[in-house]
Amino acid sequence: MNLKMLTIAIASQKGGVGKTCTCVNLGSGLQQQKIKVVLVDMDAQGSATYALGLVPGKQPGFDRWLEGEDVIRTDTAVPLIPGGTDTAYVEWDSPEILRKAISKLDCDLVLLDCPPSLVPATVAALVVADRVLVPVLADPLVLVGLAQVLDTLKDVNPDVPVDVLRSRYKPALNMTAEADSVLVSDNRFNLLRISIPENVAIAESAGHGQSIFEYASKSKGASAFKALAGEVIKEWGLNKRGRK
């Protein structure tokens, strides 16, 4: 049996930062490293579900899973609990309903793909998470979004470790260097060493319902996500959790 299962909430209060692509491709990269992953699509838009080749709302999903049904799809690049419009109607009396559902999963790592706003589903994910991963762009407005996530965590889960991932990274831009300077100097979170470059293959892979490793295994995007998987395996202690 593996050690205690780890739950990671991938959250951002701004869309377009690569949150879902990170969730799908990091999950796929970790699967390749023998880490048993389940991805939970908590977004009513079902973006992760779509990015893994399914049509949101066309199969039992997140809402039914919270009620105790086994809805996990294993025919996708990452085992998936699908999202869709029904997710928006979940009544969040307490985050404990999410914690209870997660406790029944048989895996090493749970990735929670949160909605891109501070709705009750996002708050529940932040409450139950063992760590929070926040993808950001090197843009002043997006860094404001990071501050909002950190402020929310102060209220709901103040001791949770936070990792920040630079996504759609463009090192040649002046504002990138400026944003890097701000991120490096902030001690409220762990800034991951690996960044994910702006790479057309990453966006295309989601449109084709595939992970970057399926769609373009030799692309810069695939190389970056492979390196990211290696970094978080060590950072999150997954090398002590993975199954042989």
pLDDT for 112-170, tens place per residue?
Answer: 999 988 889 999 999 999 999 999 988 777 677 788 899 999 999 999 999 999 988 87
Residue 232 lies in a domain: yes
**Binning pLDDT at 50, 70 and 90, where does residue 242 land?**
very low
Residue 148 lies in a domain: yes
Residue 74 lies in a domain: yes
132 vs 2: which has the higher pLDDT: 132
CATH number of the domain bearing residue 148 = 3.40.50.300
Residue 1 lies in a domain: no
This prediction has a pTM of: 0.93
Residue 65 lies in a domain: yes
Residue 108 lies in a domain: yes
Per-residue confidence (pLDDT) for residue 95, from 0 to 100: 93
**Phi and psi, residue 5, nearest 5°:** -60, 140
**Binning pLDDT at 50, 70 and 90, where does residue 57 land?**
confident
Residue 150 belongs to domain spanning: 6-240
Per-residue confidence (pLDDT) for residue 194, from 0 to 100: 95
pLDDT digit string, tens, across residues 167-199: 888 776 777 778 888 888 888 999 999 999 988
Residue 51 lies in a domain: yes
Number of domains in the chain: 1
Give me the mean pLDDT over the 213-238 stretch: 96
Contact 10, 194 (CB under 8 A): no
Q: What is the DSSP letter of 239?
A: G
184 vs 200: which has the higher pLDDT: 200
**Burial, 59: exposed, middle or buried (Cβ in 10 Å; 0-12, 13-18, 19+)?**
middle
**For residue 184, what are the contacts with CB-CB under 8 A and spacing of at least 6?**
191
Per DSSP bridges, beta strands 190-191 and 109-113 are unpaired
Residue 82 lies in a domain: yes
